[in-house]
Amino acid sequence: MNSLIFFCNFCFLPEICTNVSRDVCFVLFIAMASGTALIYDDEMTSYKLLWDDPVCDIEVPERLLASYEQLKHYHLVERCVHVPIREATEEEIMLVHSSEYLEVVKSTQTMNEEELRRVSGNYDAVYFHPNTYRCAKLAVGATLQLIDSVMSGKVLNGMALVRPPGHHSQRNAANGFCVFNNVAIAAQYAKRKYGLQRILIVDWDVHHGQGIQYVFEEDPSVLYYSWHRYEHQKFWPLLRESDYDAVGQGEGKGFNINVPWNKVGMGNSDYLAAFFHVLLPVAFEFAPELILVSSGYDSGIGDPEGQMNATPECFAHLTHFLMQLANGRLCAVLEGGYHLKSLSESVCMTVKTLLGDPLPLISGNMAPCLSAIESIQNVRAAHKPYWKCLMYEEATPLQDLSTKSQQMMEAELIQTSTHPVAEQAVGTANSDEVIKTDRFLESHMKKILFPVPPVKTAAAIVSKADAHLLPILVQVEMEMNAQQLKTLISGVDAELVTEEKALLSLQNMVAVLDKILKKEVCNGIAESPVASVSTTVALKHCIGFGLQRVLCIVVGDMDLELDLDDGKILLINICQKRRSEKTNSKYHISLHWKEDGEKNNFSSAVLGFILPVAYSYQPDLLIIVFGPNRSIGINGVSLLTSLLQGLAKSQSLVVIQDTEIKLVQSVAKALTAVSTPDFGAYAPASQENVLEIKRLRDQLQQEWKMLQCSVKDWISGT
Ligand code: X5A
Ligand code: ZN
């Protein structure tokens, strides 16, 4: 939705600026995008398979119907902006396809069944119906409508539910249920119509979108990322060029990223690991202007094609990460997905996340399996020459299963027994397995979904005069009586809190924290003149409330007196000074980060260390503290706060000692997600900082398994 908002050049917030500096700042009119488009039309259910074909019989109209029904069930449809579909023009289709091929598809409109069978037989895993051509034009048109809605600022992001899918189709060929390449056409269209120079395509469908790869192989302006079931080329489409060493060609070298999965049963932790250690670092460096997701859900649990194990909420987390790029401009376009329940729940998780709802906790044992780590290592090694973020990657020889040592094979046997492996009969759309997954998902979704707190963000800021500089937040009044507070701060260095201002801020902070714990708000901000005391009090309060795992990230030099042995608190301190010689322990980690200018160089620490540890720990609540002497700039603060919001159902408290209004504003923006993120231009971290991350990873990857991204790590971890 288009909202015209005053944008203050001084405070950079969508508020009508009324502060003292109003006279010296420029007030601009800015159209800030918000809202989520949903594009669907049941006309795209008007074609189906007319004969017996065990390869194609999973691609049914019910895929769209079931997904849309489930969106209605969760009341997500009414929260989206409805955008009508249209037919793509021939010119648009020819951005990717040849006119000869277009004529072939066009000619199927008037064919009888026998002729349709014959044309279908010319392609691999394809069926035509008299309505296929019409639907294929609508699928492309729907995708282009989505691009236009996002690029015009009518909405921030959106999803198009389309049939037929697109990512396998090629210039001269239909392939794998795909007729026109919706996403590839969309990328070409966006480049041409909006002059975009960097588009990221993320293909999380379980099949390799070789059609997209072919179109952009030599094009450095489109970065194509795909993970796919590969099994050393034993899985369809059986192509050599789906392996990790297909990095692009000519000018496009480095802009094609394939993560081949060589085993079935990949799950949430494997997908997250591929994001942390491959896609996200490269994507932050690439800095796309638009993200297209080839959004196939056959990579989800229960799918007869993929045989993978990712549960629906995994797609919420993947979506959330991608929303931090390209100023939030994200277009998801349906590709595959053949288990109706798994497909529809995953579609819902994607749309819900696009709408800005807090994410459910991600389930499962957070440890990638050996085969996944092997693939990830290979991709990182193959792409090291092209990306600064991989610059210090050890140039390890690429692992091959055939050369694997006996020790590794044995280790893997142990591992697979703890890793959920899908053992399903292939291609049995009506088997017991499908029903089993239905039942599993029914109860799983009840477990993980939760009511969204009525208020997103609460704030306790010391000077009420600053309140108007923040996005529309809730101001929390003092709620605690003196007696309660006394109990709370007993045992804490009370000397520090004799000052009335300090006491008041402490009371306000606890009031905010209580609202988070009672789930009246999602998250909150508290300013505090003595952050160390506030943090200690907040942590004690959380443990007293009965929380089992609180992740506390302290940015700055700060001493906290805490008992960190029972694992109820995990403390990560990002500090300038190397203070004690004490080595890191599982629950008390010091990350020494040297100030590196006001550049966006903190992403390597967040993606390569903090997020993997945080996801391994699976906190119930998050406390982020910005104390004195912080060594990361405002961009780093925003990045850290935004990316961590996927954890702990977004239940987080940010404590800020610095009263610098810019800092408070950046945190407020990240917590409310009112404005689209902008973390500044990418700059590689200094070698010193990168080596610190590496050292920590080596030290702790046995305790926090999501840190593992090379086979060497995995072996020493067993
Ligand atoms: C879009 C999509 C899969 C084709 C599988 C053929 N196609 N065995 O998921
Ligand atoms: Zn697929």
In tens, the pLDDT along 176-224 reads 999 999 999 999 999 999 999 999 999 999 999 999 999 999 999 999 9
Over 627-680, what HEC string results?
Answer: CCCCCCCHHHHHHHHHHHCCCHHHCEEEEECCCCHHHHHHHHHHHHCCCCCCCC
337 C-alpha vs ligand 2 centroid, how far in Å? 6
Residue nearest to atom 1 of ligand 1 (CA): 336
**Residues in CB range of 204: below 8 A, 6 or more apart:** 227, 271, 293, 294, 295, 296, 299, 315, 318
Residues 421 and 501 placed together within one structural domain of the fold: no
Among the listed residues 97, 168, 228, 339, the single catalytic one is 168
124 C-alpha vs ligand 2 centroid, how far in Å? 14
pLDDT value for 394: 79
DSSP three-state, residue 110: helix
Average pLDDT over residues 137-144: 99
- 673 confidence band (pLDDT: 50, 70, 90): confident
Strand order in the sheet with 474-475: 474-475, 455-460, 521-527, 652-656, 621-626, 550-555, 569-575, 588-592
Domain that holds residue 609: 457-684
pLDDT for 283-323, tens place per residue? 999 999 999 999 999 999 999 999 999 999 999 999 999 99
- Residue 30 resides in a domain: no
Residue nearest to atom 7 of ligand 1 (CA): 176
- 714 confidence band (pLDDT: 50, 70, 90): low
pLDDT value for 418: 46
Residue nearest to atom 5 of ligand 1 (CA): 176
pLDDT for 583-611, tens place per residue? 789 999 999 998 876 666 899 999 999 99
Rounded Cα gap, residues 550 and 538, in angstroms: 10
- Residue 444 resides in a domain: yes
Which token pair is 269?
A: 């932790």
Q: Quick check: 679 pLDDT over 60?
A: yes
Can you tell me which atom of ligand 1 is nearest the CA of 178? Answer: 1
Residues 367 and 435 placed together within one structural domain of the fold: yes
- Residue 713 resides in a domain: no
pLDDT value for 411: 56
Number of domains making up the chain: 2
Residues 181 and 286 placed together within one structural domain of the fold: yes
Report whether 222 contacts 187 (CB < 8 A): yes
Residues 317 and 201 placed together within one structural domain of the fold: yes
**Residues in CB range of 122: below 8 A, 6 or more apart:** none
Pocket of ligand 1 from Cβ distances under 6 Å: 55, 125, 165, 168, 176-178, 205, 207, 236, 296, 298, 305, 335-336
Could you report how far apart the first and last alpha carbons of the chain are, in Å?
51
pLDDT value for 175: 99
Rounded Cα gap, residues 709 and 277, in angstroms: 7
Residues 491 and 530 placed together within one structural domain of the fold: yes
Residues 461 and 443 placed together within one structural domain of the fold: no
Residues 380 and 521 placed together within one structural domain of the fold: no
Among 539, 261, 314, 565, smallest CA distance to 421 is for: 261
- 503 confidence band (pLDDT: 50, 70, 90): confident
Average pLDDT over residues 393-404: 58
- Greatest CA separation found in the chain? 89
- Residue 146 resides in a domain: yes
pLDDT value for 573: 95
pLDDT value for 464: 62
pLDDT value for 545: 96
- 717 confidence band (pLDDT: 50, 70, 90): low
Total Cβ atoms within 10 A of residue 82: 10
HSE of 138 in the Cβ direction (CA atoms, 13 Å)?
A: 21
125 C-alpha vs ligand 1 centroid, how far in Å? 7
Rounded Cα gap, residues 500 and 250, in angstroms: 66
DSSP for 329-392? -EEEEE----SHHHHHHHHHHHHHHHTTPPPPPPPS-----HHHHHHHHHHHHHHTTT-GGGTT
- Residue 554 resides in a domain: yes
- Residue 531 resides in a domain: yes
pLDDT value for 9: 36
- 433 confidence band (pLDDT: 50, 70, 90): confident
Is 168 considered catalytic here?
yes
pLDDT value for 417: 41
- Residue 676 resides in a domain: yes
Q: Quick check: 559 pLDDT over 80?
A: yes
pLDDT for 54-90, tens place per residue? 999 999 999 999 999 999 999 999 999 999 999 999 9
Amino acid at 286: F
Residues 427 and 461 placed together within one structural domain of the fold: no
Residues 586 and 443 placed together within one structural domain of the fold: no
- Residue 203 resides in a domain: yes
Can you tell me which atom of ligand 1 is nearest the CA of 335? Answer: 1
Chain centroid to CA 481: 42
**Residues in CB range of 36: below 8 A, 6 or more apart:** 79, 80, 81, 155, 156, 157, 158, 159, 351, 354, 355
Q: Quick check: 410 pLDDT over 80?
A: no
Which token pair is 665?
A: 């504003």
Residues 431 and 367 placed together within one structural domain of the fold: yes
Q: What is the mean pLDDT of the chain?
A: 88
Rounded Cα gap, residues 709 and 478, in angstroms: 47
374 C-alpha vs ligand 2 centroid, how far in Å? 23
**Residues in CB range of 497: below 8 A, 6 or more apart:** 489, 503, 506, 530, 533
pLDDT value for 427: 44
- 422 confidence band (pLDDT: 50, 70, 90): very low
Q: Quick check: 13 pLDDT over 70?
A: no
Which of 448, 475, 496 is where one domain is finished? 448
Can you tell me which atom of ligand 1 is nearest the CA of 55? Answer: 8
Residues 99 and 206 placed together within one structural domain of the fold: yes
Rounded Cα gap, residues 136 and 182, in angstroms: 9
Residue nearest to atom 9 of ligand 1 (CA): 336
Bond from prior residue into 237 cis (ω within 30 degrees of 0): yes
pLDDT value for 6: 37
Residue nearest to atom 2 of ligand 1 (CA): 336
CATH code where residue 178 lies: 3.40.800.20
Which of 416, 431, 448 is where one domain is finished? 448
CA angle 664, 556, 525 (to 5 degrees): 30
Which of 379, 414, 448 is where one domain is finished? 448
Residues 480 and 428 placed together within one structural domain of the fold: no
pLDDT for 606-616, tens place per residue? 999 999 999 99
Residue 184 Cα distances to 86, 103, 121, angstroms = 18, 19, 24
Q: What percent of the chain has pLDDT over 90?
A: 72
